[in-house]
Homo-oligomer: A and B are copies of this chain.
């Protein structure tokens, strides 16, 4: 089992569910490809008015599936392919989606989960949700376009805090910092997310698509030139000792020993 991204359509609504039992829905490579396929499918259907994205079993998504990392992360070409094609392929498909996307966030929203949430229009979270991007523990940086996306959504202060100090922030703090639209008790999360979907349904669907197209062009996330310029050398760290030690130590359940 390497997890799955499930798409279910009910009338004018699409439900996308991240599911990776036992791993807090950590994104495997196949899940990134399924995420892309799900949103490319949604985008081709003009009858869909709203997308709700959620995680299975009390968590949104705890990051990437680290058990796969040793098989591709330590070689520059395969690492580049993973981030620029698989991960960004999924995120870009979300950013390109013209239907409003509501994120229902509970439990862990970390790394890949934070990136996926950053592609959503509306973010509603359980007050017990937790947010972070602690990859500095694993000895590697966030890919440039992913960093540009997250920095825009969480703000520069929070992006620096998460990436440089591996900080874990609670839902109250993320609401106060402007990442979340609404906080509710965990047992009211499902109802609150559906209530938001119900608010969107009667509104003009073409107006929504035109608004999303304009906001996307103005925000210019997918095409931030500075981020794209960085990509040429962004994965040269693939074979570095730090990267290898960080990922290996995690897999071996021990503290990493980074050389200074």
Q: Does any Cβ of B come within 8 Å of A30's Cβ?
A: no
Q: List CB contacts (< 8 Å) of A132-169 with chain B.
A: 135-142, 144, 147-148, 151-153, 155-157, 159-161, 163-167
| B227 touching A218, Cβ below 8 Å | yes
Q: How far is the CA of A200 from the CA of B123 in the complex (A)?
A: 29
Q: How many residues of A contact B (CB 8 A)?
A: 74
B142 engages A157 (CB within 8 Å): no
Q: Knowing A137-B204, A164-B122, A165-B100 are in contact, say whether A227-B217 is a contact too (CB < 8 A).
A: yes
Query: Is A205 an interface position by the 8 A CB rule?
Result: yes
Q: How far is the CB of A158 from chain B (nearest CB, A)?
A: 8
Contact, CB under 8 Å: B204 / A242 = yes
Instruction: Say whether A163 contacts B206, CB under 8 Å.
Output: no
A244 to B144, CA, bound (A): 43
B156 and A219 within 8 A (CB): yes
Q: Provided the pairs A164-B208, A202-B258 are in contact, do residues A179 and B157 lie with their beta carbons within 8 angstroms?
A: yes
Smallest CB separation, A259 vs chain B (Å): 8
Is the CB of A253 closer than 8 A to any CB of chain B?
Answer: no
Q: Which of A30-76 contact B (CB under 8 A)?
A: 46-47, 49
- With A136-B207, A165-B196 given, name 18 new contacts (CB 8 A): A12-B260, A100-B160, A100-B164, A136-B204, A140-B204, A141-B210, A141-B214, A144-B214, A157-B179, A160-B215, A163-B211, A177-B178, A204-B258, A206-B240, A206-B242, A207-B242, A213-B230, A217-B229
Q: List 24 A-B contacts (CB under 8 A).
A: A46-B260, A121-B160, A122-B160, A122-B164, A123-B157, A136-B211, A137-B203, A138-B207, A139-B204, A144-B217, A151-B218, A153-B156, A155-B178, A157-B178, A157-B179, A157-B180, A163-B215, A165-B196, A206-B243, A207-B243, A210-B234, A210-B237, A218-B224, A218-B226
